[in-house]
Amino acid sequence: MTERARHIASTLLTLLWVGVCAPGAASDTLRAESTHFVITHESEASPGYVALVTRGLETAYEAFVTQAGFATFPARVDVRILPGEMDGMGAEYLDEDEDGQLLPVIEIASRQAMLAAAESMWLAVSLDDALLSTTAHEFFHVVQDYASLHGHGDIEEVAFVEPHATAVQEIVAPRADDYLDAAVDFLAAPDAMPFLDRGYDAGLFWVYVLDRYGLDAVRRVMTESAVADGARAIDRAFAPFGLTFLDVWAKFAAAWASGRLPDPAALAETSRAWRAQNGGPGFVTPPPCAVARWDGQAVKIERTTEDERAEPLRVETPYGIDAVAIRVHASDALRITVRAASGVGLRVAWVGRRGERLDLLGIGPLEITVSQPNRYDEVRVVLTRGETPSGRYTLELSPAS
């Protein structure tokens, strides 16, 4: 958080404590008010924790409403710090007041539950950062609800709800990088399900979008989701850049494959922690679905292994990502050609790896010639596709004469 945001959050924090004793209750219900929020909690919540929650909420309001210009409900938002355990770190929903008006409610986990959740992540997160991230996430849901109610978004379009809220956490809590904890499901298996059906783990892509195109790109997608669904909404949002969703997605896949995603150190640490528990290749770059060997002779790669019973090479799901690693054991110039049925619409990125160094050799063409392949330990072919009905492909390796 910037010093300006910290100063604004601290100056807006004006707490008013009101004890409301319920008959037979084990503890009082207290109330804390700030400029844009009313926080209720039981007396077991310390004043320091309530102040941290309030600071996080006001910082999120400053980032999304004051600075970014998103609209929200005019009334102060009802926030409840829940005692004991809860399912998750926070929640947000709409409730009706006595006049039938829909108003947002934010729930925040207790200090104990928040600490336990933060400590269980693949990447260690402090209590302060966990709270900044959680309050930003839940307040952005308030923004999304308001937009949807006023025709500037669609809260039913699940592809843009949790993924967007997970990504924008980084604006308020840039040190947390806790979107990576959610992203592990995608990172470890990027072709396991259609990308637009994913939830929190899809936040990784939207962090990339924020980094390359800014928060206004997310705003445009939100707005377009009111009139178009899924990929079409993203197409419309990126039309001013002359890009489609598949164009942006292919750039994202290439950035991941070549080590150019945001927060590379945090990604590497998350991958190390995951590997220590699960084994496997990790996911600093897309994990390979097949490994081949280049000995200087022509070879055709059709399956995930040489076993004829193995699965054919195929980008299984829309916006899934495959990677094939070609281990280099010859100095002859290497030509790699991707073959696919007409209309499959594969997008390809080519990456050379030597040790931990990654060189992006190209994006787009279905054939590449690597004049000195022995400069690399391996050449990786990273493939993705849009919503075409098939993702089947083969690779041909041949000497480039």
35, containing H or E segment: none
- pLDDT reported for residue 167: 98
Whether the model pTM is above 0.75: yes
- pLDDT reported for residue 307: 72
User: Are 290 and 345 within 8 A, CB to CB?
Assistant: no
- pLDDT reported for residue 13: 39
- pLDDT reported for residue 27: 57
With b for 16 or more beta-carbon neighbours within 10 A and e for fewer, the 34-48 pattern comes to: bbbbebbbbebbeee
Q: Which CATH number fits domain 3-257: 2.40.50, 1.10.390, 1.20.930, 1.10.3470?
A: 1.10.390
Token pair 């807006």: residue: 12
pLDDT along the chain (401 residues), means of 10: 35 40 58 96 91 97 98 97 89 93 97 94 94 98 98 95 98 96 96 96 98 97 97 97 96 97 97 94 94 94 82 94 96 95 89 96 94 95 92 95 74
- The answer to whether 3-257 and 288-399 have equal CATH topology is no
Per-residue tokens: 52 = 């941290």
- pLDDT reported for residue 169: 97
In the CATH hierarchy, which fold is given to the domain comprising 288-399?
Jelly Rolls (2.60.120)
- pLDDT reported for residue 8: 34
- pLDDT reported for residue 344: 85
- Residue 331: count of CB within 10 angstroms of its CB: 11
The domain limits of the chain are 3-257, 288-399
- pLDDT reported for residue 302: 93
User: Are 367 and 307 within 8 A, CB to CB?
Assistant: no
- pLDDT reported for residue 337: 97
Give the E-state strand segments of 204-356 in sequence order: 290-294, 299-301, 321-328, 334-340, 347-354
